[in-house]
Amino acid sequence: MRGGIDLRRVQMWLGHQTLTMTMRYAHLATHDLDMCVPVLERHLAS
pLDDT at 1: 60
- Per the structure, the complete domain to which residue 35 belongs is given by 7-45
Query: In the predicted model, is pLDDT for residue 32 greater than 70?
Result: no
The sign of the dihedral angle between the CA atoms of 13, 8, 1, 26 is negative
Within a domain: 24: yes
Contact 22, 11 (CB under 8 A): yes
Q: Which residues touch 32 (CB under 8 Å, ≥6 apart)?
A: 1, 2
Within a domain: 31: yes
Mean pLDDT (the chain) is 78
Within a domain: 38: yes
Within a domain: 2: no
Contact 1, 32 (CB under 8 A): yes
Within a domain: 15: yes
Predicted TM-score of the model (pTM): 0.53
Higher pLDDT residue, 25 or 16?
16
Number of structural domains found in the chain? 1
Query: In the predicted model, is pLDDT for residue 44 greater than 70?
Result: yes
Higher pLDDT residue, 4 or 38?
38
